[in-house]
Structure 1
Amino acid sequence: MKPEASAVARLTAWVHGHVQGVGFRWSTRVRALQLGLLGYAKNYPDGRVLVVAEGPREACEELLAWLEGDSTPGTVSTVVASYGEAKGEYSSFDRK
């Protein structure tokens, strides 16, 4: 059964590939804010970027599709994503 599109969700996505030093977090922030999402994008020492976004499930799905698509900066090889309940702990979308 598909979750309600307007339900609030939390997307956690580990983005693999050449995604650091190419404006990836900034572009992710811009796209997330366009979709009305809150959360962050953070670089990890192993080269991955962690994206955590909260908001309407449909908007989270749109962000995930963008992360997996061809219009992101750099080169995304894999996105490992999961959905959960929103925790409501963010007031903006930041780069960490």
Structure 2
Amino acid sequence: MSGADRPDRIARRIHVKGKVQGVWFRAWTVEQAAELGLDGWVRNRADGSVEAVAAGPADRVEEMIARCRRGSPASRVDSIDVEDTPGVVAQGFTQKPTV
């Protein structure tokens, strides 16, 4: 387990709204997170949005947030909300089931 509470790591919950389902956004997010070496997860939400938690070095998490603002090639991001999320995030970055 990788703690977001370690001094060299942060964790952020990212909530993305727009045309972000059915456009490869989750798989793209997993790919981007792997490229950045982040831990966390991503999932669709029943309201049509996408939610993710990204944990790792602050500069890499901030880069992930910037990439989510731009979105996957076929997506359209209308808004993004970001908040701190405390606790422990499992190693690796995975897709979770829709909630």
TM-score of the aligned structures, taking structure 2 as reference length? 0.82
Point out 4+ residue stretches in structure 1 off by more than 3 angstroms.
70-73
Unaligned regions of 5+ residues in structure 2, if any? 1-6
Unaligned regions of 5+ residues in structure 1, if any? 1-5
Residue 7 of structure 1 corresponds to: 8
Q: Tell me by how many angstroms 1:69 deviates.
A: 1.9
CA RMSD of superposed structures (Å): 1.6
Map Cα deviations across residues 4-27 of structure 1 (whole Å, 9 max, x no partner).
Answer: xx8200011100001001100000
Q: Tell me by how many angstroms 1:82 deviates.
A: 1.5
Q: Tell me by how many angstroms 1:84 deviates.
A: 4.0
Residue 64 of structure 1 corresponds to: 65
| Aligned 8 A contact 1:7 1:57 in 2 | yes
Residue 95 of structure 2 corresponds to: 95
- Change in Cα spacing, 1:59 to 1:77, as seen in structure 2 (3 Å) is same
In percent, how many aligned pairs have the same letter? 32
Q: How many residues align?
A: 90
- Change in Cα spacing, 1:71 to 1:95, as seen in structure 2 (3 Å) is closer
